[in-house]
Amino acid sequence: MFLKVFLLAAAAVVVCAASPDEVRIYNGQTAYIRNIPHQVALLNVSKPATNQHFCGGSLIGPQWILTAAHCVVNYKPAELNVRVGSSFFAQKGRVVPISRIVVHPGFKPSTMDNDLALLKITYEVFATGGAMRLSVPLPKSTEVFAEGTSCTISGWGRMENGLKSPVLKEATIPIANRKLCIRNYAGALISITDNMICAGFFNATKDTCAGDSGGPLTCRGKLVGVTSFGKGCSVKNYPGLYASVAKARTWITEETGI
């Protein structure tokens, strides 16, 4: 299976029990951080500055980021930074240290269930002048987004040429037919749980990919899902899989007050 550590790719990535696969955004277009101000880049501080990015995340409050558990479960806070407010993962914006990592207690690496984690940054971040909201609203725990709902995925993951995009990319995808997703993934011996959302195209036109993991799936202005995994990148019949934010609302509120 591939973990969606890369962004807007044409197909989803699947994660293996011990080592999830990567994902990226295929067939995406250039995005601007002013239109996706909640998007952040996760950085591994032990690597060269030009190659620190490995996952994405979303600001859900002035001091909290929601990302994928598989991105951070093996890290300590001191090993990570986040870049906020930039369309580029290696320049501009602000680089902020992380003070705390909270992995969802129900996260299961073998199945990728509850693939969510919260990151607390060392200080609050706000838009210059306070004219723009940086954090993205969250759905209610009972909120459902129907098949066909138009959503946006974004990130710096691998593109069609296999290279990571230095500039933020985005693509528009729909919430997919859940029953068909479950059936197709069952054929690949992958179970889609109630804590997962299937989104994308069955004809493999747009998808997230390696490097996109942890990034946002936003629908109607709300953070509905977190890029998790899939069966490769832009693989026909296998839309991407995203961790459901609505299903984790109680946990998010308990940890952050949001």
Catalytic residues: 70, 115, 213
Helix segments in the chain, DSSP class H: 69-72, 178-187, 249-256
- What residues have CB less than 8 Å from 229, skipping those under 6 apart? 1, 2, 3, 4, 12, 13, 14, 15, 20, 21, 23, 70, 112, 115, 213, 240, 241
Q: How far apart are CA 209 and CA 54, in angstroms?
A: 11
Q: How far apart are CA 55 and CA 40, in angstroms?
A: 9
Q: Diameter of the chain by CA atoms?
A: 52
Q: How far apart are CA 138 and CA 93, in angstroms?
A: 24
Per-residue b or e along 175-208, where b marks 16 or more CB atoms closer than 10 Å to that residue's CB: bbeeeebeebbeeeebebbebbbbbbbeebebbb
Q: How far apart are CA 222 and CA 92, in angstroms?
A: 26
Residue 51's Cα: distance from chain center in Å?
19
Which residue in 145, 155, 71 sits closest to 107, CA to CA? Answer: 71
Given the structure tokens 């250039």, which residue do they identify?
A: 30
